[in-house]
Amino acid sequence: MANQTNDRETDVKLARHPASEPYEQFARWYAEAQAKEPNDPNAMALATVGPDGMPSVRMVLLKDYDQRGFVFYTNYESRKGTQILGSMKAAICLHWKSLHRQVRVEGAVERVTDAEADAYFHSRHKSSQIGAWASKQSRPLESRFELEKRVAQFTAKYAIGEVPRPAYWSGFRILPRRIEFWEDRPFRLHDRMVYSAAPSAKGEGGWTSEKLYP
């Protein structure tokens, strides 16, 4: 119990001394989540909006991040794919329950390059590659047998050699305009720090930060 208390005190101390820019702060928290969060530290809720203005949210996996943004992969013909392609905007939320923390990101979206998509696709297990071909993601499915039949068909088709990446399967990169870090504190007096993108007159990107009331 003493070690848990000391760890928690260290967490609070870090929350009181945030990094000067959001990617450094995210790297700190993400590294700790990877070490301590028991299940899927890269799981995140992805929010999109349809053409009728109705929001939609689902869980996806963060596959990469750097100074450019946060990357995940999907079927571009899925519901989330078509909604993103229609607006080129999205939001994500990573919630690490065991650490009492969450990170929220909002921004524009761009497609990853073909080279990036190819590299990630070919890093996946072959069965997952086959699944990308077999699944008509988000479209009506008559029965489980229909899906299993398609899996068998593509397994036979690509039994030998490399499985090519489907043209409709690729990735998106969220280009943050706003990143908020939230950490639980007693009596709901939580710590909240928000970083907002602030392009300069020269067109160079930068960040402003401020604390928020809980």
Q: What is the pLDDT of residues 89-136, one digit of tens each?
A: 999 999 999 999 999 999 999 999 999 999 999 999 999 999 999 999
Write the DSSP string, 22-39: HHHHHHHHHHHHHHH-SS
Domain segments of the chain as ranges: 2-122+165-211, 123-164
Helix, strand, coil in percent for the chain, rounding step 5: 35, 35, 30
d(CA 30, CA 41): 8
d(CA 196, CA 139): 37
Catalytic annotation, residues: 188
CATH of domain 2-122+165-211: 2.30.110.10
User: Is there a contact between 68 and 62 (Cβ–Cβ < 8 Å)?
Assistant: no
Percentage of the chain exceeding pLDDT 90: 86
Mean pLDDT value across the chain: 91
Residue 6, pLDDT above cutoff 80: no
pLDDT at 20: 87
Encode pLDDT of 14-63 as tens digits: 456 688 899 999 999 999 999 999 999 999 999 999 999 999 999 999 99
